[in-house]
Amino acid sequence: MQPKIVYSRFPRSWDLSANFLAAFIIFLGTGIGLFAGWLDLPVAVFVFVLTGWIVSLCLHEGAHAFAAYWGGDRSVAAKGYLSLEPLTYTQPFLSFVLPLLYLILGGIGLPGGAVSIDHSVLKSKRWQAFVSAAGPLANLVFLIILTIPFLLGLPDDGSRFWQAVALLGALQASAVVLNLLPVPGLDGFGILRPYLPRDMQMQANQIAPMLSVLLLMMFISHSANKALWSAVYELTDFFAVDRFLIFEGWKSFRFWM
């Protein structure tokens, strides 16, 4: 008798990577420790926010890949993108190392390098736009999950746990705001890109790397950074996050200052 072959609905490449799971477990464990008071230390806020940011970066890039998979680009599965493994992305330094360094220095939620998508096989222009929008949407969903307690009025103190949650929520808000800017190289432009003339798309591809560097340099300046954070705080205000908790979260996060 021939053995019965059972076919999985999803490819094995959808299995979550060990690196992503490790970051998520540390993030969750540190959060529980902060909430329970076992880890009421500034360094715990640093670990919680940093690993939470790593998780959000994986979800952001993974969301692009999942949208592309359902939109017709099945190559993302073979590339390992669906496992949320950060080392599979085309530019790990731009996608993870640079955003983490910038965060540690007290910066914004810097966007990373996008996953490699074959736009020519996507089903339609709408799918192409959705693939670009999926990353910021992942950050928005993460922001909503983090801020549900604030919307319900649950935080009744300024404990380090709520400081950490407020800061991580603000970073998600900064990722949403920054990524949706209609600048070549960012997801905001990617949403518009399918509807632009072909020659304009090609020109944008050529100048995107240069604009990304200029954008980073611009947000190092006080005025641009202030304008961005004003937009971020408008978004966190909408989700009832106390700005004082965000400020205190920064103080705890940068415990070495």
Catalytic site residues?
61
The tokens describing 164, both together, are 């950490």
Number of neighbours of residue 254 by Cβ within 10 angstroms: 14
Largest CA distance in the chain: 74
Which DSSP string corresponds to the chain? -PPPP---SS-GGGSPPHHHHHHHHHHHHHHHHHHHTTT-SHHHHHHHHHHHHHHHHHHHHHHHHHHHHHHT-THHHHTTGGGT-GGGSS-HIIIIIHHHHHHHTT------PPP---GGGSS-HHHHHHHHHHHHHHHHHHHHHHHHHHHTT---S--HHHHHHHHHHHHHHHHHHHHTS--TTSHHHHHHGGGS-HHHHHHHHHHHHHHHHHHHHHHHSHHHHHHHHHHHHHHHHHTT--HHHHHHHHHHHTTT-
Q: What are phi and psi of 159, to 5 degrees?
A: -60, 160
